[in-house]
Amino acid sequence: NAGVTQTPKFQVLKTGQSMTLQCAQDMNHNSMYWYRQDPGMGLRLIYYSASEGTTDKGEVPNGYNVSRLNKREFSLRLESAAPSQTSVYFCAIARLAGQNNEQFFGPGTRLTVL
Amino acid sequence: KQEVTQIPAALSVPEGENLVLNCSFTDSAIYNLQWFRQDPGKGLTSLLLIQSSQREQTSGRLNASLDKSSGRSTLYIAASQPGDSATYLCATETSGSRLTFGEGTQLTVNP
């Protein structure tokens, strides 16, 4: 039971390149989230999916797109990477959004944009 | 907009000491408050979740309290150990399934 897995673990991109961060869960939870963590800024919500087939913007959605492929998988895409997107990206899951459920986090993807 | 503040930003204590980490928030309309632990280079591990109707939660040597009216939560760690060294984050969940995080308290427990 891996919980929440993220791929890749590390990535270096050049400005303007695109990439997709993958998140998968085996806990059968309904809600999935993407956060970024930056020094001095804490964790900030990028996008979330309360259930399969729905997605909503979080605090910092600009420059990102998401796809809730199925109940297990939630991907985050950077279409044209910028140095400001250098960060650590975390995927998280919860059984039901807004229902006092714990969020479980993946190990993170460390992204550097040159 | 919810703002979450954690004080102190860093704390160093000798092994065995009892300690308190503080978390304050500006919007009391929360569903819950969660405390997480983050080890260097790792993801977040959930420690305790306090629902908005609850006053405290306990897990082993950890006790978290919540006072919604004053916008405060504390995490009490009893008999600290070097293995407790990590960054501790609190987060509130508000409408729209949004978690708002504090910047964390970096705890070092010295042997």
Please give the average per-residue pLDDT across A2-10, as a whole number.
92
pLDDT score, position A95: 82
On the question of pLDDT at A100 being above 70, the answer is: no
DSSP letter at A97 equals: T
Q: Is any Cβ of chain B less than 8 angstroms from the Cβ of A90? A: yes
Question: In chain A, which residues have their Cβ closer than 8 Å to the Cβ of B54?
Answer: none
CB contact under 8 A, A42 and B101: yes
Question: In chain A, which residues have their Cβ closer than 8 Å to the Cβ of B51?
Answer: 100
pLDDT score, position A23: 97
**B109–chain A nearest CA distance, Å:** 22
Three-state SS string across chain B, please?
Answer: CCCEEEECCEEEEECCCCEEEEEEECCCCCCEEEEEEECCCCCEEEEEEEECCCCEEEECCEEEEEECCCCEEEEEECCCCHHHCEEEEEEEEECCCEEEECCCEEEEEEC
pLDDT score, position B41: 87
Candidates B4, B34, B43; nearest CB to A102: B34
DSSP letter at A28 equals: -
pLDDT in tens, B40-66: 988 999 999 999 899 999 999 999 999
pLDDT in tens, A25-51: 999 999 999 999 998 888 999 999 988
Question: In chain B, which residues have their Cβ closer than 8 Å to the Cβ of A107?
Answer: 42-43
Q: CA B4, CA B23: separation in Å to the nearest integer?
A: 7
Q: CA B93, CA A62: separation in Å to the nearest integer?
A: 22
pLDDT score, position B96: 62
Q: Is any Cβ of chain B less than 8 angstroms from the Cβ of A94? A: yes
Question: In chain B, which residues have their Cβ closer than 8 Å to the Cβ of A56?
Answer: 96-97
pLDDT score, position B97: 67
Residue contacts between A and B (CB atoms, under 8 Å): 63
Q: Three-class SS of residue A103?
A: coil
pLDDT in tens, A52-96: 889 999 989 999 999 998 999 999 999 999 999 999 999 999 887
